[in-house]
Structure 1
Amino acid sequence: MTGYDPSQHFWAKIGDDRESWHPLVAHSADVAAVFELLLRRTQLGQRLGLLLGRDLSGAALHRLCALAVYHDAGKAYPGFQRREDGHQAVMVQSAGELAEHLRYGQTIHQWFENDWEWTLATWGHHGEPTPDDPTGIAGKWTPSSKEKVREVAGWASGWYPKAEGDADPISGKRAQHLFIGILTLADWIASDERFFPFRSWHPWETPRDLTVPSLAREVARERAEHALEEVGLFSSSDVSTSFEDILEGDYGPYGVQSAMKKFSAEEEGSLLVLESPTGSGKTEGQYARFAQLLSKGLVDSLYFAVPTRSASKELQDRLVRIVERTFEDPPRVSLAAPGHLRIDDIEGESSGRWKVDWAEDIGAEGWASERSKLYTSSAVAVGTVDQALLAVLKNRHAHMRRAGLSRSLLVVDEVHASDAYMTELLGQVLEAHLEAGGHAVLMSATLGSAARARYTGEEEPSFEAAVGEDYPRITPLADSPDEPAEPSFEADVDKQVSIEEKGWIRRPDAIARRAESAAESGAKVLVIRNSVKQAQKTYDALDKSVSFRAGGVPVPHHSRFCAADRRVMDNRIEEVFNKSRPAEGRVCVATQTVEQSLDIDADYLITDLCPIDVLLQRIGRLHRHEHDRDRKRPPGYGEAQCLVATPSARDLTARIDEDGSAYAGPGLGTVYQDLRVIEKTWQSLRSRSAITIPEHNRRLIEEATHPTRLEEVEAIDEKWKAHGDSVRRSVRALTQRAGDNVIDFEKSYSFDEGNGSNIFPDRRIRTRTGLESIEVELPRRVTTPLGQSTKMVSLSPYLFDDPEQISFNSPVASEATQRGEEFRFQFDGKRFKYAQKGIHR
């Protein structure tokens, strides 16, 4: 191939020197070849075929592939060839002028029920619908550029001749949305020079002239096969489903793990809701489900969604070991958490736009880990639930995320119903996933029956029926044809926990003294406060000689540490609060950062009053490894004990305002907004001196969350009624906001003012309510109190007087000064200190 000659060739990709370039015909062939293989060789063909209501072969397959050839036809526009204009909106504006050359009204019109919608979708392959934005291009198409568009149509019909065959027109709005996700994924792969270089050749290739359509097609097929193999999109079904391989050590499967194998798999998709106590082996049970589905060719991949980034890191380490035991040729396990570059135990570092330097030479296997938009295309990924929720929000590349996710068994850990916004988003994700034949599992230790019914479609049970349900249990979709005769199973270990109540929620000194006393007896003590402020106050009051240490220094465990320090803290707490723990007593003062997914085992727990589902999660960190017969507890802590710090006054209504809003203490009314649930939780605890896990789980959860029980609270007086009304207004508003932010898959994928529901806004839509932390870049590298080097810190919006006014346009600190083990910096006119207890003003 010679240098680019504008009089002879049209380019699709070109370097600044105009010597490195890629012909339009070659790129069109590349994208179509990758798209075709994605449909033929991955679950995407099955998923799209189910939405289309037909087998994706013959004429239907060729028509969709031919449409993929058209995706960059706008690059023939003279303004694009001069690198002056874009190429997507050009096609929208020029369709009438180019109708003859695109063969509208002849071929494509016969292929699709609404050919204009499908063509618009094709041109919207850059992550969002293409705007109908007039650019004054009428009459600017030259004869040669129009002829090139005619050639594109010729390439499509020449490469995919079966498209002209006799078949019903392709239709379906929902299928259209998945189609554009697959096409966008194909375009991303085919635009990667590692697989589709401009002028160089892979060692296994014979140089050919890529301006010749037949040769361009030939090379594209070879490169597409190689690319999908290299990035791991071709999955191996050769996986062991035996628990001898899945489980580590000489252990038999727990009840939950064996129960998962009672459920077979349907090609039309499946949803299972698993309710089981913390520490009962749910993770390995879900991996067994994945292995079962993969071996039967019903999924290609696994996406394990967890609540927090720290939880995803811990779980990734576990899954790496499981994957190595169950595969002959193990796929890579990606950590799908923005801010981290990691596959297996290999770390990466960004080295410029679109470039990542990996600690080891891993070729292209880190491809899906290098961009958050590609996380869901990993073979095995562990990440936050946010990455799954982004698959349905009106943000750029949502459709590509959804395409990747649709191939996977989607496992969502620690599902709860306390956040109406995220609950609605997850419901939308599951609907899209299941309708295309996807498979999903929702896991929870603490899901109420009303919340479960929203996911499974079952009738919401009465309170009496709900408390009589088995626990633990697995519940499939209400209309599932494959419900086993015994959906419940026995828990492997019962744990009795004595409950002590103290009015200390505003007494960090009293909490610290009790924790110190337990630590002096050799106990590993976990103190979980509802807010960072209270955690820091408790840490200040604590004798540092018994404090949990990370990086050699005493620290609390909460969210206001940088990512590097959080990794050190998470690793250390699992060492100190686990099987091979050091002998001396320790106190870790923490927030919600430790209540889920971290594998920690405390001898004694002190916790603020919180909703019952959260409380049971926290209790799950207490005597977690009771099945370990070699575990030696310190004197006085052989039985599980939990102290619950409550408000000093029993009446929660004292701080309920006339409008129903409330604040009853740290986190009560703010972090946990529904005081009705807090009231019922408090009542349940006061009626018991001890609880047995999991025997009492079902009753405890229903007593505090069942709608009829919450109605009882509202009947007490007008203040409670006003608060209930306030909660319902908030839930309706959050649910409505979520609905407004979700892509409407019943409407076409197009930019149409008359179809405004699918216009993507300029702002980025978030996956969670509340204000997000701000990632701030420091002007130079500093050393953290834990000895880590960093140039980035994460600032909570609650560190600012008016967080709504924070500028996100230039998140760079104006100065950073190292002072011994701590450092100080200035951002947005405010001064901050990063010390052993985290970041604070």
Structure 2
Amino acid sequence: MEDSAAIAGLLWDTWLPVNVKGLISSALPGGQRDGRRLAVWLAGAHDIGKATPAFACQVDQLADRMRDAGLEMRSAKALGPDRRIAPHGLAGQALLGEWLRERHGWAVKQTGQFTVVVGGHHGVPPEPGQIAALHKHGHLLRSPGASRDVWRRVQGELLDACAEEYRVQDRLDAWRDVRLPQTAQVLLTSLVIVADWIASNADLFPYFPQDAARSGAERVAAAWRGLDLPAPWSPDEPVEDAQQLIASRFGLPEGAKARPVQEAAVELARSMGEPGLMVIEAPMGEGKTEAALAVAEVFAARSGAGGAFFALPTMATGNAMFPRLLDWIARLPSARGAQQSVLLAHSKAALNEDFAELMRDSGQRIVAVDLDAPQAPRWRPRDTKHAARTELVAHAWLRGRKKAMLSSFVAGTIDQLLFAGLKSRHLAMRHLAVVGKVVVIDEAHAYDTYMSVYLDRVLAWLGAYRVPVVILSATLPARRRRELVEAYSGAEIQASDVQPAFEEVAEVTAYPLLTAVGHGRPPVVRSPDASGRGTDVVLERIEDDVDALVGRLAHELEGGGCALVVRNTVKRVLETAKALRRMFGDEHVTVAHSCFIDVDRAAKDADLLKRFGPPGKADGRPAGPHIVVASQVAEQSLDVDFDLLVTDLCPVDLLLQRMGRLHRHMRGAGQQDRPERLRRARCLVTGADWDADVPVPVRGSVAVYGAYTLLRSATALLPHFEQGEARPVRLPDDISPLVQAAYADDADCPDGWADAMADARDRYEQHRADQAERAAVFRLGKVGKAGRPLFGWVAAGVGDADDSLAGRAQVRDSRESLEVVVVQRRDDGTLVTVPWLAPDRRGNPLGGLDLPLDQVPTRQAARAAASCGLRLPIQFSYADVMERAIAELEELYVPAWQVKESQWLSGQLILALDEDCQTHLAGFSLSYSESDGLEVTRA
């Protein structure tokens, strides 16, 4: 009890961000002084439920000592399954509530908002039914008979001692009429959980200390030194003007200026009464990421947030963001010379070289502590770019599924944020992790109805917590903009006099656009200028015929140039690439899609950036004709630039994202460094039968996006296709009008399309309603009224939520799919890592390493193999095929790898390719190549 209370005090004093302490203390009459006392007291009392027969009976030897002192109890066997009715958290909640009522005159309805912290300290607040059941089994709290009063006296003595030791005796009367917000209840619970975890660490707090004579204070001080938790980020508000701020934080070259959107975002952040939600809508390439980080610095200083979380749609975009986040942290004056905890948050983060290097170099380990040891030495980065500025630490204690997000700076997938809206065990910890940060949500248009159900609920809680949020999008429908700001602002606006202002948010047509709102306050909009550079894109429909496409590209690229062909399915990517190679040759065609092993996917992204990135940064842009055939992976967060674009018909917001890869940068005056034929930006749209009375998208596109959004996209683009009267799509001017036209509820329909459109819309609305209904099953409830205890907060939840394929499927509307580790089986039966893997950063070979079947592979070989994870395509997501595939994959079960020492391979499904990189699985033929990835055909 002393250890937990002491740690809670240290966490409060040195680790909790200022805004979290303010939220906990907001309803208490003594402010933060009361907040600290309350947190320390609850941490000290949180295990009082262990002083009960239901808990104490578990170890006979120890129970006998208690019986000798008059605390009679039946054996664990005699109590039987009834013991499950009184887990020690729930028992503690009951005992503390009784103590408050009997000793201090509290009413029943007043106690729950405080005692639920004790009841929920193992991750799940009790449900009303559990509380009622415990009341019917009083013998689990105190044995009946003569010893009942002894139990009562001991429990009372412990709680009296806690109240006196942690100085709350004189505060309990003042707290009796407090209505503690549910947000404060969540944060107090999470703080007690963290204190409990630290105090329960036997390395930091040995059960049998060598020097028992040392005081508790000395033990705690030694443990705290050994833990060495980095303090939260604590920035001062930047004093530079917006131009200077952007230039200093992002290293703009001399003479370069911040974009108008960036300047306006910083100025708007400074003008807000208190930080809230800001939505930044601006064209691709306008520097939205830099604007968001600059706003985050202002918001953090004003709100007391202790870090930043950048949420992105995919692992690939998270990996791309992570080094940019590190560079930004290194330039922050507030981080200079301080230790800052950082995290890449997705299931394969350990395979990212930037993060893996941080973990290796952050050499701190949690070990048994020496009471007389000096301050633990800290790692100083060898990278001179960071060395003089900050210490970036992947902290040893802040690792693992439930603690990692507590790091101060995080780049990760949107799933990590959506998990905060999923009823799951230890949800309070996920809330603490995001509440202490400024949250940035990128690519907001990329999330479907299912994900949006969770995102909106998370935004409602973030608004209640007063967490600053920045949302980024190039192509956000106006209706979705309104939904986001309403979710954050809170339900009370629905019946308030500010409601008309929210309706106006959905009517604003300006672009770029900034929308800012505080919790319960009306929104404010700003419409800064674009950067001044625009692109006119000529649209043309072409027939969906591969041979015709090959001939067209041969004509267009006759004088050289780089073309991007975006297909909506991997199957179409591979079919197109094969046909193009027959005409252009293998060396002139590159393939990129989602069905590559992880290490190859990362290499593909790096190669695309290297060859097709911005002038001055890219190296080796092909001079002759070159074609990249890609799936949707080319759509997001890749700063690549092509001379010509061919794309399948897709939702208009995504089509515009694809156009953002066309003439993205200026190449010479008037684009004169591009081939003469390609100096005017052109986008050829295929993937549909354009000659039909109503365009008929190809089946694969309909399966991915649905017919309605595709037809709405075609409708919005129609004026740009019409012969004779067609005009180019002007970027960025036409981005918002096109998106709003495609997603408007009352959009016009071309003549002759009405029946097809109505039928497609019915299916679309039914699908959206189904998504929303299924997502709501495990979605967290709304923020309850102040004073209402969190009883049943995560009732009927999913249990533990984690960043696995199954876990991500809980917050994404995706089929649970199989993920395998790809290795190669030689003709002699031995297994090796695939042979084409490049050496690591230190020059160590990774390809062709032995993976012995009778022992744990070397760490290098095991990690190399794990980097070859592959998510099998949708064919393997159907129940009967999945079961057959799992059964066949489990035939290669290696017992020697299923041990703790084999952390990279333990529990993984292994897909062994033959020497020709082929195999069969569940009735399909699988073929893999470094150039084309996985190809699946019916066997």
Give the alignment's TM-score, normalised by structure 1. Answer: 0.81
Counterpart residue type for residue 411 of structure 1: V
Give the corresponding residue for 1:720: 757
Identity %: 22
Structure 2 distance, partners of 1:444, 1:247, is 20
Structure 1 distance, partners of 2:96, 2:307, is 41
Structure 2 distance, partners of 1:238, 1:35, is 24
Counterpart residue type for residue 476 of structure 2: L
- After TM superposition, the structure 1 = structure 2 runs for residues 326-337 of structure 1, keeping only pairs within 5 Å, are 326-327=332-333, 328-329=336-337, 331-337=340-346
Q: Is the CA contact 1:231–1:365 (under 8 Å) kept in the aligned structure 2?
A: no
Could you say if the C-alpha distance between residues 138 and 106 of structure 1 is closer, same or farther in structure 2, counting changes exceeding 3 Å?
A: closer
Could you say if the C-alpha distance between residues 109 and 587 of structure 1 is closer, same or farther in structure 2, counting changes exceeding 3 Å?
A: farther
Counterpart residue type for residue 616 of structure 1: L
- Measured against aligned partners, the alpha-carbon deviations of 1:363-416 in whole angstroms (never above 9, x if no partner) come to 964347732433432222111111111111012232211211111111111111
Structure 2 distance, partners of 1:626, 1:716, is 40
From 669, 681, 700, give the equivalent of 1:666: 700
Cα deviation, residue 128, structure 1? 2.7
Could you say if the C-alpha distance between residues 725 and 622 of structure 1 is closer, same or farther in structure 2, counting changes exceeding 3 Å?
A: same
Give the corresponding residue for 1:255: 260
- After TM superposition, the structure 1 = structure 2 runs for residues 646-657 of structure 1, keeping only pairs within 5 Å, are 646-651=687-692
From 683, 704, 709, give the equivalent of 2:742: 704
Structure 1 distance, partners of 2:691, 2:536, is 26
Give the corresponding residue for 1:216: 216
Cα deviation, residue 256, structure 1? 1.1
- Measured against aligned partners, the alpha-carbon deviations of 1:10-30 in whole angstroms (never above 9, x if no partner) come to xxxxxxxxxxxxxxx354335
Give the corresponding residue for 2:814: 770
Q: Are positions 1:814 and 2:891 aligned together?
A: yes
Q: Are positions 1:230 and 2:232 aligned together?
A: no
Q: Are positions 1:173 and 2:182 aligned together?
A: yes
Could you say if the C-alpha distance between residues 677 and 559 of structure 1 is closer, same or farther in structure 2, counting changes exceeding 3 Å?
A: same
Q: Is the CA contact 2:163–2:169 (under 8 Å) kept in the aligned structure 1?
A: yes
Give the corresponding residue for 1:796: 872
Number of equivalenced pairs: 786
From 565, 570, 582, give the equivalent of 2:605: 570
Structure 2 distance, partners of 1:835, 1:462, is 52
- Measured against aligned partners, the alpha-carbon deviations of 1:520-559 in whole angstroms (never above 9, x if no partner) come to 633222211111111121122221896898xxx9752111
- After TM superposition, the structure 1 = structure 2 runs for residues 477-626 of structure 1, keeping only pairs within 5 Å, are 477=517, 486-504=526-544, 507-515=545-553, 518=556, 521-543=559-581, 556-578=591-613, 579=615, 580-584=618-622, 585-626=625-666
- Measured against aligned partners, the alpha-carbon deviations of 1:409-430 in whole angstroms (never above 9, x if no partner) come to 1111111176111122111111
Could you say if the C-alpha distance between residues 485 and 537 of structure 1 is closer, same or farther in structure 2, counting changes exceeding 3 Å?
A: closer
From 493, 510, 514, give the equivalent of 1:470: 510
Q: CA RMSD in A?
A: 4.3
Structure 1 distance, partners of 2:686, 2:418, is 34
Q: Is the CA contact 1:309–1:337 (under 8 Å) kept in the aligned structure 2?
A: yes
Q: Which runs of 5+ in 2 are unaligned?
A: 63-75, 368-378, 383-390, 487-497, 802-806, 824-830, 839-846, 848-863, 893-910
Could you say if the C-alpha distance between residues 168 and 478 of structure 1 is closer, same or farther in structure 2, counting changes exceeding 3 Å?
A: closer
Structure 2 distance, partners of 1:440, 1:96, is 35
Give the corresponding residue for 1:8: none
From 41, 47, 69, give the equivalent of 2:23: 47
Structure 2 distance, partners of 1:319, 1:364, is 13
Structure 2 distance, partners of 1:240, 1:79, is 62
From 432, 435, 457, give the equivalent of 1:406: 435
Structure 1 distance, partners of 2:41, 2:123, is 20
From 701, 707, 730, give the equivalent of 2:767: 730
Give the corresponding residue for 2:121: 125
Give the corresponding residue for 2:861: none
Structure 1 distance, partners of 2:687, 2:343, is 41
Structure 2 distance, partners of 1:120, 1:482, is 34
Counterpart residue type for residue 422 of structure 2: L
Give the corresponding residue for 2:677: 636
Counterpart residue type for residue 40 of structure 2: C
Counterpart residue type for residue 683 of structure 2: C
Counterpart residue type for residue 13 of structure 2: L
Q: Are positions 1:160 and 2:166 aligned together?
A: yes
What SS class does the counterpart of residue 596 from structure 2 fall into? coil
Cα deviation, residue 717, structure 1? 3.5
Counterpart residue type for residue 834 of structure 2: T
Counterpart residue type for residue 258 of structure 2: P
Structure 1 distance, partners of 2:751, 2:45, is 61
From 471, 487, 506, give the equivalent of 1:442: 471
Give the alignment's TM-score, normalised by structure 2. Answer: 0.74
Q: Are positions 1:428 and 2:463 aligned together?
A: no
- Measured against aligned partners, the alpha-carbon deviations of 1:751-781 in whole angstroms (never above 9, x if no partner) come to 65xx885655588561110214322246855
What SS class does the counterpart of residue 576 from structure 2 fall into? helix
Q: Are positions 1:681 and 2:716 aligned together?
A: yes
Q: Is the CA contact 2:276–2:463 (under 8 Å) kept in the aligned structure 1?
A: yes
Q: Rg larger in 1 or in 2?
A: 2
- Measured against aligned partners, the alpha-carbon deviations of 1:664-715 in whole angstroms (never above 9, x if no partner) come to 53313533453442342342442434111111112211221111106x4799
Give the corresponding residue for 2:399: 370
- After TM superposition, the structure 1 = structure 2 runs for residues 336-415 of structure 1, keeping only pairs within 5 Å, are 336-341=345-350, 346-347=356-357, 365-367=394-396, 370-415=399-444
Could you say if the C-alpha distance between residues 33 and 64 of structure 1 is closer, same or farther in structure 2, counting changes exceeding 3 Å?
A: closer
Could you say if the C-alpha distance between residues 621 and 95 of structure 1 is closer, same or farther in structure 2, counting changes exceeding 3 Å?
A: same
Give the corresponding residue for 1:324: 330
Q: Is the CA contact 1:453–1:460 (under 8 Å) kept in the aligned structure 2?
A: no
Q: Is the CA contact 1:209–1:216 (under 8 Å) kept in the aligned structure 2?
A: no
Cα deviation, residue 60, structure 1? 4.4
Give the corresponding residue for 2:730: 692
Could you say if the C-alpha distance between residues 437 and 491 of structure 1 is closer, same or farther in structure 2, counting changes exceeding 3 Å?
A: same
Could you say if the C-alpha distance between residues 462 and 178 of structure 1 is closer, same or farther in structure 2, counting changes exceeding 3 Å?
A: closer
Could you say if the C-alpha distance between residues 704 and 291 of structure 1 is closer, same or farther in structure 2, counting changes exceeding 3 Å?
A: same
Q: Is the CA contact 2:822–2:913 (under 8 Å) kept in the aligned structure 1?
A: no
Structure 2 distance, partners of 1:464, 1:29, is 50
Give the corresponding residue for 2:4: 28
Q: Is the CA contact 2:918–2:925 (under 8 Å) kept in the aligned structure 1?
A: yes
Give the corresponding residue for 1:823: 917
Structure 2 distance, partners of 1:723, 1:28, is 59
Structure 2 distance, partners of 1:137, 1:828, is 56
Q: Is the CA contact 1:751–1:759 (under 8 Å) kept in the aligned structure 2?
A: no
Counterpart residue type for residue 605 of structure 1: L
Q: Are positions 1:246 and 2:222 aligned together?
A: no
Cα deviation, residue 818, structure 1? 4.6
Give the corresponding residue for 1:73: 48
Cα deviation, residue 163, structure 1? 5.2
Could you say if the C-alpha distance between residues 583 and 461 of structure 1 is closer, same or farther in structure 2, counting changes exceeding 3 Å?
A: same
Q: Is the CA contact 1:516–1:543 (under 8 Å) kept in the aligned structure 2?
A: no
Counterpart residue type for residue 592 of structure 2: H
Q: Is the CA contact 1:777–1:793 (under 8 Å) kept in the aligned structure 2?
A: yes
Structure 2 distance, partners of 1:184, 1:35, is 12
Give the corresponding residue for 1:740: 777
